[in-house]
Structure 1
């Protein structure tokens, strides 16, 4: 579905029911140079991450995923600091 929308006097835009039923009620607003995009937010962000990366994190807790991400970022920062 596509169409046009207009803000009301309070700056609100109504998202059509068909779109809300398909994508949900929560969206991240992303402002780009030439447009604004609405990105649907899942109620379970880990589910969205799993959809994006497959089973790469299967069997790991959120704490384990965070710790691995921090360690990878730390290692990347240290390897770039060799100049």
Structure 2
């Protein structure tokens, strides 16, 4: 585990290290809890892991539903 302390600039930005951006991508999910904020990488779910045979109805709201289930 790597821990970094970062300052938030006057426009509310945090700069993530280049290595982190390369590894995790350029989009993140911010989750606010009562006592903390979590930053998670936004990745498209690999739907194939849920099916033996790919026969699925693709809906636009699938990504949102899967993210809500993770929380």
**TM-score category of the 2 structures, normalised to the smaller one:** 0.5 to 0.7
What is the total number of aligned residue pairs between the two structures?
58
Higher relative contact order (CA 8 A, sep 6+): 2
Contact 1:27 1:41 in 2 (8 A): yes
Residues in 2 aligned to 1:57 and 1:10: alpha-carbon distance in whole angstroms: 47
- Cα deviation, residue 49, structure 1: 4.3
User: SS state of the match for residue 12, structure 2?
Assistant: coil
Residues in 2 aligned to 1:15 and 1:60: alpha-carbon distance in whole angstroms: 39
> Any stretches of 5+ residues in structure 2 without a counterpart?
63-71
Normalised by the length of structure 1, the TM-score is 0.57
Structure-to-structure mapping, 1:17-32, within 5 angstroms = 17-32=18-33
Larger Rg over CA atoms: 1
Normalised by the length of structure 2, the TM-score is 0.65
User: SS state of the match for residue 39, structure 1?
Assistant: strand
> Any stretches of 5+ residues in structure 1 without a counterpart?
67-83
